[in-house]
Structure 1
Amino acid sequence: MKIVVRNSSSVQPAEPTWSGSMPLSEFDQIGVVTHVPTIYFYRPPQDWAAPPCRMFETLQSSLSKALVIFYPLAGRLRWLPGSRLELDCNGAGAQLTEAESDATLDDLGDFAPSPEYADLIPQVNYSTPMAEIPILCVQITKFRCGGVSLSCNVSHAVVDGQSALYFLSEWAALARGAVAGPPPVLDRRLMRAGEISDRRSEFGHEQFDPPPLMIGETSNDGERRKETAVALLKLTAAQVEDLKREANRTRADGGAASVKRPYTKYESIAGHMWRCACKARRHVAAQPTALGICVDVRKHVRRLPPPPRKFFGNVVVDVIARGRSGEITAAPLGYAAARIREAIDIVTGDYVESMIDYLKGLEDFSRLQDIKAPGTNDGTFYGNPNLGVTSWLALPLHGLDFGWGKEIFMGPGTHDCDGDSLVIPSSDGDGSVTVAVCLQDSCMEDFKKIFYEDLPI
């Protein structure tokens, strides 16, 4: 697929905005210091009239207006001592690119994330100084059939998924000529640590410990170098309900709490994926394995005032479910779901405040950061023998209309790290889901086979 860039420009806020240094919260400082891509595909409607240049102009003018409201996205990050990040709200602007492709939308098949589509996504070069990298990069690509893709690459150090999607929905509203909704809450002090308390000693925060290695290995370097493959696996609403019933039928706690708190859709699907990955990777029974879980903690934060729903930043934590492959695969689905439930249940108001205090006491964040730059991708790795399953089930993913209708597909952008996976709800709202999973090429076919063969009958 050949992509030709026709236009690329920096888009500044349409009006002067607040300028200055914005300290980031402790939650902004940890995890993957990278840009997270998402991509939307649109088919041309029957009455398609807007030429590509008009679409680009619409995006450009509406983005300029949106950056007045969401002005942190027009700034730049910079490093401080101790590997801390700070946001410079300087109005430097977001990057907007216009491109054309010689392919049609039908050529893309099921839209599975693939390195083949990398040119549809604005690339970010982390080998350049941090202060020169746009926080938000957008690309619109017109296909030969008249359809388009819109991809957004936004810094995860500045926003989490909930915040990024709120920005996109407000930007789309402005592009359609609609009135913007409630403004985001930009004050990061709502999630910054105060004085360090005794809470930091109440929890171990094992999520910051290195995940398990393959038995006999002293590093994960060998696993990192192996070729990977990506698959989109569909589960119907009936299959999802079957997994939930099976997980709750085989509860590890004997079913005592099944009526009060049945396992959720996520816990059941993630448990199924964990079991399938252990089998497909052909682990020995004693192999330690972990499953990484991303938890939105907005409802758990005990702050006065608490962070509102439109808080703009990162309010997510990672927790870890652990086990041994032999136990995960030999036991019924309820066992894996129970391990996942135990990890999620750790996240309480006290836990969140303890984590903030723990991070506040660190002098150097470098060991907790995974920087996606050439030659520096040496942070936390949730590939073999581990898995990371991120839920997008509660995010407002679908229905993004910039004036040319709603998308026909929305998904992650490039997705090439072993063990990285997402659970995405159907755009139809019918209860079905799509699992986007990246695994080593040598075990992907086995995983796909086991994924469907092990579904409850």
Structure 2
Amino acid sequence: MGVVSTSGKSFQIMRQMPKLIPPARPTPREIKLLSDIDDQSGLRCQVPFVGFYRKEENHDGGNNKEDDPVKIIKAALAEALVIYYPFAGRLIEKPGNKLAVDCTGEGVMFIEADADVTLEDLGELQPPYPYFEEILYDVPGSSGILHTPLLLIQVTRLRCGGFIFAIRLNHTMSDGCGIGQFKKAVAEIARGAAVPSVTPVWRRELLNARDPPRITCIHPEYDVPASYSTAKNPFATISDLVDTSIFFSPAKISALRTLLPADLRLKCSDFDVLTAWIWRSRTRALQPDPQEEVRLMISVNSRSRSNPPLPEGYYGCATALPVALATAEGLIENQLEYAVDLVMKAKSRVTEEYMKSVADLMVLKGRPGLMVASTFYISDWRRLRYDQIDFGWGKPIYYGPAKLRPQMKILSYYTWKKNKQGEEGISVFLCLPKFAMEKFTADIDRIGG
């Protein structure tokens, strides 16, 4: 049992003992190698997600409203694990730091819980959450990378009839698209489908290093000095860090576009202009040395950038992390179009050859970690459409990232969100020291719209 407080209200969460949910039927016992993109050092971590669902009286999702979401989701999960059976196994490490899945069929870890609180009592349903450790309990011994469950799931029933679906992923197994595909499969089965609409595809060898490996592209994202710790946190010595979510309405995005030349407005996306503005404003707020090199790292899905594209249903990691570079002075003193151009050029570098070069680099350089010093890292979750995942009780009010890992406070997420006026805009979840957050939010207030 846990007692937490939010929006001025204390509430209790009663958890049952964690259980392993194995596949509903026997599955192959085999060893399956991860790709050389999957098992890089920067992905050897756990990533949490959370979705909030209300009880919709008029929703026809195929379930009787008296049905229990815990019971429905557990059964669907066991069925989904029959075809996604590697998730029911455990990671092992082979020579050369090579990761593989031992498909043991042991299952994923599942927690059933109840909270004496309503969705309305929880207040704003976007990160950061003061009660997160209770709605996704970190089972002792479960958060390692090797020899532990690859998924941890907690479903918490709420007093209003809604529920919270929280999940933690061993990131080496899947990227955002991959785990989204799995969650969609569980949701489809929960709504009565015999099989999911997309058949899972393993095929991790498609993103393995070549023979012989050869680095053919520039990869500043992996420029890590020999003495540099991959877990180094640029904010490690700062005690007053602030995590927050900020809503950018369509009007604010349009106002940012007016700062660009007419031809660039037509070519750039909302992501390009917003990312460029945030990178520039964030850098100004942090007040670095003018000649310091500052970096923007962007998460780019490479699935469609191969020829042919990766097969539909591929659920491994296929994300590239290209980097834009500038001096702090150059980024701040130039107009917004300078930063937008850097963002667009960084994204365009992700090609099939680029991904092959990354895989080759991993093998040749011993799977180096990511360079995070003076880096701002953006991951756009809007196209993942987690807000469409329906277990039979309607679409979630919010579904997205749950928290920033201590070693990755440089990371920022974009998700869809509706404001109180019903406008769908972009919610930006980020972290800054308090002094910088105050300067950053003052910049936001000066945007028109």
Q: Which residue of 1 aligns with 2:228?
A: none
Q: What's the secondary structure of 1:246's corresponding residue?
A: coil
Q: What's the secondary structure of 1:344's corresponding residue?
A: helix
Q: CA deviation at 1:422?
A: 0.8
* Match of residue 226, structure 1, among 238, 253, 256: 238
Kept in 2: contact 1:398–1:427 (CA 8 A): no
Q: Which residue of 2 aligns with 1:161?
A: 176
Q: CA deviation at 1:446?
A: 2.4
Letter in 2 for 1:432: G
Q: Which residue of 2 aligns with 1:389?
A: 378
Relative to structure 1, is the Cα distance of residues 424 and 248 closer, same or farther in structure 2, using a 3 angstrom cutoff? farther
Q: CA deviation at 1:71?
A: 1.0
1:15-164 to structure 2, matched below 5 A, reads: 15-30=25-40, 31-46=42-57, 50=65, 54-111=68-125, 112-123=127-138, 130-164=145-179
Q: CA deviation at 1:206?
A: 1.6
Kept in 1: contact 2:207–2:356 (CA 8 A): no
Q: CA deviation at 1:26?
A: 0.8
**In structure 2, distance between residues paired with 1:427 and 1:310:** 30
Q: CA deviation at 1:209?
A: 0.9
1:243-392 to structure 2, matched below 5 A, reads: 243-249=256-262, 258=264, 262-302=267-307, 306-362=309-365, 364-365=366-367, 367-368=368-369, 380-381=371-372, 385-392=374-381
Q: What's the secondary structure of 1:168's corresponding residue?
A: helix
**In structure 2, distance between residues paired with 1:231 and 1:323:** 26
Q: CA deviation at 1:390?
A: 0.9
Relative to structure 1, is the Cα distance of residues 159 and 6 closer, same or farther in structure 2, using a 3 angstrom cutoff? same
Q: What's the secondary structure of 1:29's corresponding residue?
A: coil
Kept in 2: contact 1:285–1:324 (CA 8 A): yes
**In structure 1, distance between residues paired with 2:183 and 2:281:** 35
Kept in 1: contact 2:410–2:431 (CA 8 A): yes
Letter in 1 for 2:204: R
Q: CA deviation at 1:355?
A: 2.1
1:176 aligns with 2:187: no
Q: CA deviation at 1:35?
A: 1.8
**In structure 2, distance between residues paired with 1:140 and 1:443:** 36
Q: CA deviation at 1:342?
A: 2.0
Letter in 2 for 1:119: E
Q: Which residue of 1 aligns with 2:7?
A: none
**In structure 2, distance between residues paired with 1:412 and 1:121:** 12
Letter in 2 for 1:6: Q
**In structure 2, distance between residues paired with 1:248 and 1:160:** 35
Kept in 1: contact 2:233–2:409 (CA 8 A): no
Moved more, 128-137 or 159-168: 128-137
Q: What's the secondary structure of 1:278's corresponding residue?
A: helix
Letter in 1 for 2:250: A
Q: What's the secondary structure of 2:275's corresponding residue?
A: helix
1:128-177 CA-partner distances (Å, limit 9, x unpaired):
76443111111011233332111111111000111111111111010111
Relative to structure 1, is the Cα distance of residues 150 and 201 closer, same or farther in structure 2, using a 3 angstrom cutoff? closer
Moved more, 423-432 or 161-170: 423-432
Q: CA deviation at 1:21?
A: 0.6
Q: Which residue of 1 aligns with 2:9?
A: none
Q: CA RMSD in A?
A: 2.7
**In structure 1, distance between residues paired with 2:144 and 2:380:** 32
Structure 1: 5+ residue runs without aligned partners?
A: 212-218, 250-254, 369-378
Q: CA deviation at 1:182?
A: 2.8
**In structure 2, distance between residues paired with 1:248 and 1:426:** 28
Kept in 1: contact 2:215–2:360 (CA 8 A): no
Q: CA deviation at 1:445?
A: 2.6
Letter in 1 for 2:276: G
Normalised to the residue count of structure 2, the TM-score between the two structures is 0.86
1:193-235 CA-partner distances (Å, limit 9, x unpaired):
33125xx343232210139xxxxxxx96673242322111111
1:399 aligns with 2:388: yes
1:205 aligns with 2:208: no
Letter in 2 for 1:28: D
**In structure 1, distance between residues paired with 2:86 and 2:79:** 13
Q: Which residue of 1 aligns with 2:211?
A: 195
Moved more, 174-183 or 102-111: 102-111
Letter in 1 for 2:210: G
Kept in 1: contact 2:69–2:163 (CA 8 A): no
Letter in 1 for 2:205: R
**In structure 2, distance between residues paired with 1:397 and 1:324:** 36
**In structure 2, distance between residues paired with 1:128 and 1:237:** 39
Relative to structure 1, is the Cα distance of residues 322 and 19 closer, same or farther in structure 2, using a 3 angstrom cutoff? same
Kept in 2: contact 1:294–1:316 (CA 8 A): yes
Letter in 2 for 1:410: Y
**In structure 2, distance between residues paired with 1:411 and 1:96:** 19
1:420 aligns with 2:432: no
Structure 2: 5+ residue runs without aligned partners?
A: 5-11, 226-230
Moved more, 170-179 or 40-49: 40-49
**In structure 1, distance between residues paired with 2:166 and 2:203:** 27
Kept in 2: contact 1:95–1:136 (CA 8 A): yes
% of aligned pairs identical? 26
